[in-house]
Amino acid sequence: GQQVMQIPQYQHVQEGEDFTTYCNSSTTLSNIQWYKQRPGGHPVFLIQLVKSGEVKKQKRLTFQFGEAKKNSSLHITATQTTDVGTYFCAGGGYGQNFVFGPGTRLSVLP
Amino acid sequence: SQTIHQWPATLVQPVGSPLSLECTVEGTSNPNLYWYRQAAGRGLQLLFYSIGIDQISSEVPQNLSASRPQDRQFILSSKKLLLSDSGFYLCAWSPLNSNQPQHFGDGTRLSIL
């Protein structure tokens, strides 16, 4: 079945540094979603990418969908303490439910 | 606007006891409904999903079951809890078209003693 991996598993950065998490699928995806889960909270939807090579931005966050629609990345510029949490990608297969990656836990040191 | 309610927020149960977690959605009709489990510091494991009343699909074999007696009500149950059932249980909904964002409830932290 479809597998979704994310690297790194953990990332510790100094406030102001950039951060990137990568998501890779074993199969070609129809689309991909990104979620953020704050410590003690529930996942919250951030964005969905559908088109090959698509790039979307939300303030300091940049999301990219690979040309082959098998990988994606989330880049945060100049991290802030409010960025702390776990970032999940979820790969949507054709006619299948979304499969969540294991997440990347981001710590931001002030 | 749509809202999702999940309760209880925290639950401590002895091994072998039954379980019933409830999730309700308001402000939408015919949603897809999902139950996930999240072990501490880990990702989301899809347990069950439902596309309609009494239509439940199980993703992993386990001693848990799910029911959807009403369009916007999703219940997670167990007859006898195991220690391995401990975790953070999340209910989610999405519009009927499956390629839509999922919206999660606040979750239930279940501890088995």
* B106 token code pair: 């606040």
Residues of B within an 8 Å Cβ radius of A: 34, 36, 41-44, 46, 49, 59, 90, 98-99, 101-107
Q: What is the pLDDT of residues B86-103, one digit of tens each?
A: 999 999 999 987 678 999
Which amino acid is it at A103? Answer: G
Q: What residues does B66 pair with on adjacent strands?
A: B76
Average pLDDT over residues A18-27: 96
The closest of B40, B48, B28, B38 to B97, measured between CA atoms, is B28
Q: What is the pLDDT of residues B34-66, one digit of tens each?
A: 999 998 778 899 999 999 999 999 887 678 999
| Distance (Å, whole) CA B36 – CA B11 | 16
* A32 token code pair: 């991909």
